[in-house]
Amino acid sequence: MQWRPSPNFDERWPNFVIIHATSNDTADEALRTLTDPQRRVSSHYLIGREGTVYQLVDERARAWHAGESKWGADTDLNSVSLGIELDNNGREPFPDIQISALLTLLSGIAERYRIPAANYLGHGDVAPARKVDPSSHFPWEILARQGYGLWCDPPWPEPPAVMDTALALRAIGYDVSDLEAAIRAFKRHFVQDETSTGLTDRDRGVLYCLLSKSTHWTPTSENASPLSAAAWRHRRDVSR
């Protein structure tokens, strides 16, 4: 690991990990941006395509990576998260060696902070109207199988007909002030498809599955009404 200090940070304590893609073609380009005082943007780590890990900001400091963001009741993700940038232009797969380096890094982070599995997210999840990274190419399923994020495998449960999409997404944590953006972010992460904002039966099944996992409570046909979905949201916020 190489230490490349950035002056762009404040103090804070992490409870989330936010994964980004740099949108650059090389790690050197990203490093110049992330360490430039005039740009006022940074992350805790950058991982190159070839697996080199650069640390730019101390983990206990507040890096400036998420910007205007929201997840559940948290409206300032910079204050409660670690930011990890991946050297990727957003249009390409992530090399195995890069993902291997990421998993090693996440293993250490998990030991130090005990971050809940549901709190490993993408930039596009916490800023759905502004960002799309780390893109639909990112292998969230691989991370989730190691305990870094949530994932739902088939067969997916059949959701009740009364399940309200907006309230279900809010219960997971999404900002639904722009509902189409929130649906795209959900599909990009958990379905690996962002070609439309329409929800298929499969998409609704995945959403219903994630709802039970993210709230640690399994809804039933008797209590899965729109009002119950609001209660799931309240339950989730109170439990934080």
Report the alpha-carbon distance of residue 112 to residue 80 in Å, rounded. Answer: 14
Residue 85 bears catalytic tag: yes
Contacts of 33 (CB under 8 A, 6+ apart): 22, 24, 39, 41
Contacts 24+ apart (CB under 8 A), 46-50: 46/4, 46/22, 46/84, 46/85, 46/86, 46/87, 47/84, 47/85, 47/86, 47/87, 47/98, 47/101, 47/102, 47/105, 48/87, 48/98, 49/87, 49/88, 49/95, 49/97, 49/98, 50/95, 50/97, 50/98
Separation CA 85–CA 66 (nearest Å): 11
Sign of CA dihedral 98, 103, 104, 108: positive
**Which of these is catalytic: 85, 141, 158, 222?**
85
- Active site amino acids: 85
